[in-house]
Amino acid sequence: MRKVAVIGVGNSKFGVRNDVTISELAFEAVKPSLEDAGIDAKDVEFVALGSVGAGAWYEELLPAVVTSEYCGLTGAGLVRCEAACASGSAAFFTAYAAIASGHADIAMALGAEKMREIDTPTSMEWIGRAGYYFWEFHNFGLTFPGYYALYANAHMAKYGTTEEDLALVAVKNHKYGAMNPIAQLKNRITVDDVLASTVIASPLKLYDCCPMTDGAASIVLASEEKAKELKVDTPVWVAGIGYSSGTANLSRRPDYVGLEASVLASQRAYKAAGITPNQVDFAEVHDCFTIAEILAYEDIGLCAKGEGTKLIREGQTEIGGRIPVNMDGGLKSKGHPIGTTGCSMIYELTRQLREEAVEKSRQVPLKNYIGLAHNVGGTGHYCYVTILKR
């Protein structure tokens, strides 16, 4: 297997983007990623697109084709990847594999999603169908806030987690999202704001939930030989990728205090990278709901099981703490355009590892120059963990 480097990144503004089509949105990410890599669109040999809502949330049924044409990438090999909320990471893995296997020297992972062209109830139905449609959505009407509320209640019952603990996650992520120019939600909030917000699926309230988002992110990858040819200065390397999955039917899960797919994917990623969790300088984790971030701390080995609340209470996941997490605001504040999120996490890791976060107030201190992205699809139906190193 060949070494693979990230040589260019780009990210659109996240939010309600009714001002652009899916192709125009993708272009906002592709153009800066090509400029960052110092290449032309014609140099890209393969494109993997992460997108979930094609033909449902937005009009294009074949988004890889139309976005690639609009961005000047026609002629490259194309594929669309679907892994629910982890589709962007699946696209990144696919582009990485194309280079690592020797099939391409330059590839692109592109995430592009529009979620706001349809009404909220319809969107919630589509997302709710992402678990096990017949047993969970059709029979019981379970939606994704409901899925994660089950996990929140189980964690509270077993480990004493409180609603205030969940609120601290939202407060932290809004703090850093307010510093991020591409974030959807830039408002600073307090614990009281979270606790006073509308209950969505008890104990989860409105401010415990990520928004529905339009956005795109583009990552350009290259082989070691091509990176040298392009004279890329101190490239960011793909150190390891791990992946796993969980049962479609939640009734078959062993418990509701963690995601087994996250545990397995992270273990595989650490093994591939040849590192341990305590060597990671910072992480991007899948905080679609506040409980999901606490579960992630524990599942990927940042702390022992049941101790995730201790990290957030003590400020250990902020800058200055032991392991900064979601310094871009996370899904909670930056936004969660489902098929894009995995690529946007890689965008943030790369910028941080290069020490070029535009807003220096959210630049993490680096010791080992290692960053981790944890991207869950559904409620642990899919999981990808990606480790980058500079």
Provide the pLDDT for residue 55: 85
Provide the pLDDT for residue 318: 97
- Whole-angstrom Cα distance, residue 53 to residue 117? 11
Provide the pLDDT for residue 142: 74
To the nearest 10°, the Cα dihedral for 57, 63, 66, 69? 140
Paired with 83 in beta bridges are 85
Paired with 244 in beta bridges are 383
Residue of 343, 386, 344, 336 lying closest to 144 (CA atoms) = 336
Catalytic residue among 336, 374, 381, 383: 336
On the question of pLDDT at 139 being above 60, the answer is: no
Provide the pLDDT for residue 234: 84
Domains of the chain (ranges; CATH) run 4-118+212-229 (3.40.47.10)
Structure tokens of 24? Answer: 């125009």
When the pLDDT of each residue in the chain is averaged and rounded to a whole number, the result is 95
To the nearest 10°, the Cα dihedral for 334, 246, 118, 16? 10
- Whole-angstrom Cα distance, residue 252 to residue 267? 22
| Confidence band of 96 (pLDDT split at 50, 70, 90) | very high
Residue of 74, 89, 70, 79 lying closest to 29 (CA atoms) = 70
Average pLDDT over residues 235-243: 97
3-state DSSP helix/strand/coil percent for the chain, to nearest 5? 40, 20, 40
To the nearest 10°, the Cα dihedral for 116, 111, 42, 237? 150
The reply to whether 286 belongs to the active site is no
- The helix-helix angle for 87-100 and 341-353 (nearest 10°) equals 60
Provide the pLDDT for residue 213: 97
On the question of pLDDT at 92 being above 60, the answer is: yes
- Whole-angstrom Cα distance, residue 269 to residue 288? 21
* pLDDT tens digits, one per residue of 170-216: 999 999 999 999 999 999 999 999 999 999 999 999 999 999 999 99
* pLDDT tens digits, one per residue of 314-330: 999 999 999 999 999 99
The reply to whether 336 belongs to the active site is yes
- For residues 92 and 217, is the Cβ–Cβ distance under 8 A? no
Provide the pLDDT for residue 196: 98
| Confidence band of 359 (pLDDT split at 50, 70, 90) | confident
Average pLDDT over residues 3-16: 98
Residue with tokens 């009734």: 251
pTM summary value: 0.96
| Confidence band of 140 (pLDDT split at 50, 70, 90) | low
Paired with 11 in beta bridges are 217
Average pLDDT over residues 299-315: 98
Average pLDDT over residues 52-57: 88
- For residues 177 and 332, is the Cβ–Cβ distance under 8 A? yes
- Whole-angstrom Cα distance, residue 368 to residue 371? 9
On the question of pLDDT at 121 being above 90, the answer is: no
Structure tokens of 75? Answer: 């002629």
On the question of pLDDT at 128 being above 80, the answer is: no
Average pLDDT over residues 95-110: 98
Provide the pLDDT for residue 193: 98
Catalytic residue among 71, 81, 85, 210: 85
| Confidence band of 123 (pLDDT split at 50, 70, 90) | confident
CB neighbours of residue 262 within 10 Å: 28
Q: Is the peptide bond before 203 cis (omega within 30 degrees of 0)?
A: yes
Which one-letter amino acid corresponds to residue 323? I
Average pLDDT over residues 232-250: 93
Average pLDDT over residues 261-286: 98
Q: How much of the chain exceeds pLDDT 90, in percent?
A: 86
Residue with tokens 């000047």: 72
- For residues 220 and 108, is the Cβ–Cβ distance under 8 A? yes
Provide the pLDDT for residue 135: 67
- For residues 33 and 65, is the Cβ–Cβ distance under 8 A? no
On the question of pLDDT at 49 being above 90, the answer is: yes
Provide the pLDDT for residue 138: 54
